[in-house]
Amino acid sequence: MKSEHTVLAAEALLQDSPATTPRVPHAVLQGVTRKFGKAGSVFHALGPIDLTLYQGEFFSVVGPSGCGKSTLLDTLSGLASPSDGTVQFENREVKGVPDGVGVVFQEDASFPWLNVRDNISFTLRMRGMEGAEIKRRVDYALAFMGLKDFATAYPAQLSGGMRQRVCIARTLVQQPRLILLDEPFGALDQQTRLLMGDELLRLWRETGATVLLITHALDEAAMLSDRVGVMSSRPGLFIDIVETGWPRDRDSRVVSTPRFGEVNARLWERLRVESLKVMGASHG
Ligand SMILES: Nc1ncnc2c1ncn2[C@@H]1O[C@H](COP(=O)(O)OP(=O)(O)OP(=O)(O)O)[C@@H](O)[C@H]1O
């Protein structure tokens, strides 16, 4: 199925629309599929997917449950190989997680036995990085994520939102150029999610990284992204890519604009049909 690119009508708010800046491909998937199982009982989970993420863009993926969103992220990150097709990051074929790619998972992935500072520095220490450089990066991440006063606290002493900040900080210290997030705010309440969305936008703006966010929440995708890819029910394909047209300097207050409602409605219109297919399949 071909992707249909939808550009929603512009608003006066959007004077520096990212569409005016040249797009440089950063990560490219071509003909990517994922199939599980062996000959005779092959389970086709994903694709074929053709997708280009552009340098510095914020791209979100929404789709019905089980359509292959996490499978897509695993493949893009190099945690898993495609069954067919190729994945490229910065013009090189991805084999294993490349240097420059950071992943943040849904579940609270902090280590309960390590304090905040040691959680954040964990990956750098595993890589054998020099102590002074680790300290410099961790101090920066602690300040950036508002965790400075909690450096010696343990995860059990923190709220869910703070623990997720620790996980984001752990990715941030690796100075990723591509950040992949799989439902990072799924377990948080609505206000915390909105505020964490603002944190993520700030991180995206200040690092200049390319961001791919997997989310169940259409409002989160509509608020945060430059583009939102809508996936079909399994095997997941992109059936629509919606350009929001938000300026780079945006925050959660876009939710009160008419345009936000327009983007949200567009996403739901496409997703509703796909979600009904999944429900129909599970009912009969
Ligand atoms: N290692 C595996 N072996 C077999 N099947 C798998 C494997 N990983 C994923 N699947 C199946 O592939 C399909 C897509 O899974 P995936 O987790 O990518 O979907 P998702 O869109 O992220 O789901 P959700 O929205 O519920 O998180 C599912 O039916 C899942 O059961």
What would the pLDDT profile of 227-257 be if each residue is shown by its tens digit? 999 999 999 999 999 999 999 999 989 999 9
Domain ranges of the chain: 5-15+23-100+178-283, 108-175
Share of the chain above pLDDT 70, in %: 90
Residue of the CA atom closest to atom 9 of ligand 1: 71
> Kind of pairing, strands 25-36 and 178-182?
unpaired
* pLDDT grade for 192, boundaries at 50, 70 and 90: confident
Is 3 a residue whose pLDDT tops 80? no
Q: Which atom of ligand 1 is nearest to the CA of 183?
A: 27
Residue of the CA atom closest to atom 12 of ligand 1: 45
Specify the DSSP class assigned to residue 2: -
Q: Phi/psi at 25 (nearest 5 deg)? A: -60, 135
Residue of the CA atom closest to atom 2 of ligand 1: 36
Mean predicted confidence (pLDDT) in 12-19: 44
d(CA 240, CA 232): 9
- pLDDT the model gives residue 217: 92
Specify the DSSP class assigned to residue 280: H
Q: Nearest to residue 145, comparing CAs of 158, 129, 164?
A: 164
Other CB atoms closer than 10 Å to residue 109's CB: what's the count? 17
- pLDDT the model gives residue 179: 97
> In the structure, which protein residues have their CB atom closer than 6 angstroms to any atom of ligand 1?
36, 43, 45, 63, 65-71, 234
Mean predicted confidence (pLDDT) in 85-103: 95
Which of 20-24, 117-121, 192-196 ranks highest by mean pLDDT?
Answer: 117-121
Is 133 a residue whose pLDDT tops 70? yes
Across the chain, mean pLDDT equals: 89
Is 16 a residue whose pLDDT tops 50? no
- pLDDT the model gives residue 7: 42
Is 281 a residue whose pLDDT tops 80? no
* pLDDT grade for 8, boundaries at 50, 70 and 90: very low
Treating both helix axes as pointing N-terminal to C-terminal, what angle do 131-144 and 116-126 enclose, rounded to 10 degrees? 140
* pLDDT grade for 110, boundaries at 50, 70 and 90: confident
Give Cα 229 distance to the centre of its chain: 11
According to CATH, the superfamily of the domain at 5-15+23-100+178-283 is: P-loop containing nucleotide triphosphate hydrolases (3.40.50.300)
Mean predicted confidence (pLDDT) in 180-187: 90
Is the ipTM above a cut-off of 0.90? yes
Q: Tally the residues of the chain.
A: 284
DSSP class per residue in 166-225: HHHHHHHTT--SEEEEESTTTTS-HHHHHHHHHHHHHHHHHH--EEEEE-S-HHHHHHH-
d(CA 4, CA 26): 21
- pLDDT the model gives residue 201: 95
The pTM for the full model equals: 0.90
Residue of the CA atom closest to atom 23 of ligand 1: 66
pLDDT tens, 20-69? 567 899 999 999 999 998 778 889 999 999 999 999 999 999 999 999 99
- pLDDT the model gives residue 152: 97
Cβ atoms of 35 and 200 within 8 Å: the answer is no
Residue of the CA atom closest to atom 6 of ligand 1: 36
Q: Nearest to residue 9, comparing CAs of 235, 265, 278, 207?
A: 265
| Residues contacting 77, CB < 8 A, separation 6+ | 94, 97, 101, 103, 180
Ligand 1 pocket test, pick from 44, 49, 61, 71 with the greatest ligand atom count within 8 Å of Cβ, gives: 71
Treating both helix axes as pointing N-terminal to C-terminal, what angle do 190-207 and 160-172 enclose, rounded to 10 degrees? 10
- pLDDT the model gives residue 226: 97
Cβ atoms of 90 and 177 within 8 Å: the answer is yes
Q: Phi/psi at 148 (nearest 5 deg)? A: -55, -40
Mean predicted confidence (pLDDT) in 154-160: 92
* pLDDT grade for 283, boundaries at 50, 70 and 90: low
Is 139 a residue whose pLDDT tops 70? yes
Share of the chain above pLDDT 90, in %: 73
Ligand 1 pocket test, pick from 36, 216, 277 with the greatest ligand atom count within 8 Å of Cβ, gives: 36
Residue 92 CA, ligand 1 centroid: distance in Å: 27
Residue 109 CA, ligand 1 centroid: distance in Å: 19
